[in-house]
Structure 1
Amino acid sequence: MILTLNRMGRGRYILYAIAIAISAFLLLPIVFIAFLSFGSSRWLQFPPPGWTLKWYQALFADPRWIEATLNSFKVGLCVTLFSVALGLPAAFAIVRGRFPGRALLHAFFISPMIVPVIILAIALYALVLKLGVNGTFLSFVLAHLILALPFSVICVVNSLESFDMSVEKAAIVCGATKLQAVRRVTLPAIRLGILSGALFSFLVSWDEVVLSIFMASPGLQTLPVKMWTTLRQDLTPVIAAVSTLLIILTIAAMLVAAFLRRRAAR
């Protein structure tokens, strides 16, 4: 018995060590990027010879970076709104619909997660060229929406499948109409799924680079496209500063989502 416990204890420590090693492998590059953003060297040199904030000052002093960031925010917000507006009724149709082909419809909505992004990018590029909207705000929103919509659909579908329909039926028995029951009972109950879908949709749009490169024009670029073009022209630590801010934004968004989930669970 004691020997078995000792073996279990050693196995637990081995698992801990493996988990720490994997976490370090995933997180150390992010930590290095954060250190490089404060380095005094003009190149991405590690360890930095000194420490400075000049790369952040250069970032905020360059209107091109500010404009690209604002473009990403605008596109991300529009994509989030359209993703939730389209994903919500689609999820209701998939979960509660009684028509042939529901499974096929579900597969259709999540297919952009399976198809390689480069294939979608080439197809969309040909389409927007034919429509004459390449390099416009509309082309960015439509392209990002194709990638973001599956996340909204999946989150809402999972919430609806775990929702107790008897609560909604009880509201109808008490005198509410079907629409009122959905609006006042079902939607508040699945709000975490809706918020999760909105958050993932925004992050997908915010981080997307392949589609954005195809949709971009000299007059309209998102932040990932600006980072990509800067990397090709000049490997400056400003890139590390931008990457660090993006990491902070992503962590903040995930913390907000966790806070809302915890608050709703109370």
Structure 2
Amino acid sequence: MLLDYDRLGGWRWGLVAIGSAVMLFLLLPIVFIAALSFGDSQWLVFPPPGWTTQWYQQLLTDPVWVNALLTSAKVAVMVTLLSVVLGLLAALGLARSRFFGKSALQAFFLTPMVLPVVVLAVALYAFFLKLGLTGTLTGFVIGHLIIALPFSIITIGNSLQSFDSALEDAAMICGAGPLEVKWRVTLPAIRLGLFAAAIFSFLISWDEVVLSIFMASPTLQTLPVLIWSTLRQDLTPVIASASTLLVAFTVLLMLLASFLKKGSRQ
């Protein structure tokens, strides 16, 4: 049943007030963290007694923080590429084929979304420990890929469901081969789904901390892991600066996705 906001009258403003309160509840902690990152106190004191950018300078000049930032970016980019490619292949197989056990296979692909991350992290840690992949870039990529892949399969699969497969049949009738049909017809038609899958995969890897803690080593760790370990030892405002950069980059990616989606509709 759809709500008629013209008949709600005063209730409409009540809903707006509740929505605004929820938004403030979710966003105010982020605003506080951003404010703390510019405070001139060496401790996390709010409100800050003064303002400075020294913590960002320290963040971007400290080799430990820079290496963690580069590791996060490297892992996220590799996970994004693999997640989109493998997610596309899996989504095409599920959407264009009928075979026994298809529902079970779909459920298997979505298992990482259902399992608690801690359970998955412990299992992968025990498995990777035997393979010697803990504390390696390969271990990070595989672990993050397992978490990100279900989101790619769902996103790309939804795009394929809304795509008219008759266009592929028409292209094949005109003489195009199977690969040419996928390249010239299918991929352009589902480009928004591919881009959304890339955004989700990147952000999942970029922000992942639980699994990364199990995969990390003293010489290789991502930015969220370094934030977590530093938070347990010292409440330096550099943590607030690193957290603000993580949030800011995430928001920029979401705004970019919204802008491209809006542009595609025009």
Task: Please classify the TM superposition score into its range, dividing by the shorter chain length.
Answer: over 0.9
1:118 aligns with 2:118: yes
**Structure 1 position 264, deviation (Å):** 2.1
| Counterpart residue number, 1:206 | 206
| Counterpart residue number, 2:54 | 54
1:194 aligns with 2:163: no
Superposition pairs for residues 159-170 of structure 1, below 5 Å? 159-170=159-170
For the residue of structure 1 that corresponds to 2:110, the secondary structure is: helix
Contact (CA 8 Å) 1:94, 1:103: kept in 2 or not? Answer: no
Superposition pairs for residues 90-101 of structure 1, below 5 Å? 90-101=90-101
| Counterpart residue number, 2:147 | 147
For the residue of structure 2 that corresponds to 1:24, the secondary structure is: helix
CA distance in 2, matches of 1:92, 1:32: 44
| Counterpart residue number, 2:229 | 229
For the residue of structure 2 that corresponds to 1:220, the secondary structure is: coil
**Structure 1 position 5, deviation (Å):** 9.4
Q: When the two structures are aligned, how many residues end up with a matched partner?
A: 263
CA distance in 2, matches of 1:24, 1:5: 23
CA distance in 2, matches of 1:209, 1:93: 31
CA distance in 1, matches of 2:168, 2:5: 50
**Structure 1 position 243, deviation (Å):** 0.9
Contact (CA 8 Å) 2:5, 2:12: kept in 1 or not? Answer: no
Q: Deviations over 1:143-176 (max 9, x none)?
A: 1000010111011000000001121111112221
CA distance in 1, matches of 2:42, 2:5: 55
**Structure 1 position 132, deviation (Å):** 1.4
Amino acid at match of 2:97: G
**Structure 1 position 179, deviation (Å):** 2.3
For the residue of structure 1 that corresponds to 2:9, the secondary structure is: helix
| Counterpart residue number, 2:45 | 45
Contact (CA 8 Å) 1:75, 1:141: kept in 2 or not? Answer: yes
| Counterpart residue number, 1:80 | 80
| Counterpart residue number, 1:250 | 250
| Counterpart residue number, 1:262 | 262
CA distance in 2, matches of 1:73, 1:8: 48
Contact (CA 8 Å) 2:159, 2:190: kept in 1 or not? Answer: yes
CA distance in 1, matches of 2:96, 2:116: 30
**Structure 1 position 8, deviation (Å):** 2.1
Q: Deviations over 1:192-213 (max 9, x none)?
A: 1011111110110010111111
**Structure 1 position 45, deviation (Å):** 1.0
CA distance in 2, matches of 1:255, 1:62: 29
| Counterpart residue number, 2:127 | 127
Contact (CA 8 Å) 2:148, 2:205: kept in 1 or not? Answer: yes
Unaligned runs of 5+ in 2: none
**Structure 1 position 42, deviation (Å):** 1.4
TM-aligned CA distance change 1:186 to 1:235, over 3 Å: same
Contact (CA 8 Å) 1:71, 1:221: kept in 2 or not? Answer: yes
| Counterpart residue number, 1:71 | 71
1:109 aligns with 2:109: yes
Q: TM-score with structure 1 length normalisation?
A: 0.96
TM-aligned CA distance change 1:7 to 1:174, over 3 Å: closer
Amino acid at match of 2:108: F
Q: What's the RMSD between the two structures over aligned residues?
A: 1.5
CA distance in 1, matches of 2:112, 2:6: 49
CA distance in 1, matches of 2:175, 2:93: 24
Amino acid at match of 2:52: T
Amino acid at match of 2:66: I
CA distance in 2, matches of 1:34, 1:5: 36
CA distance in 2, matches of 1:10, 1:263: 35
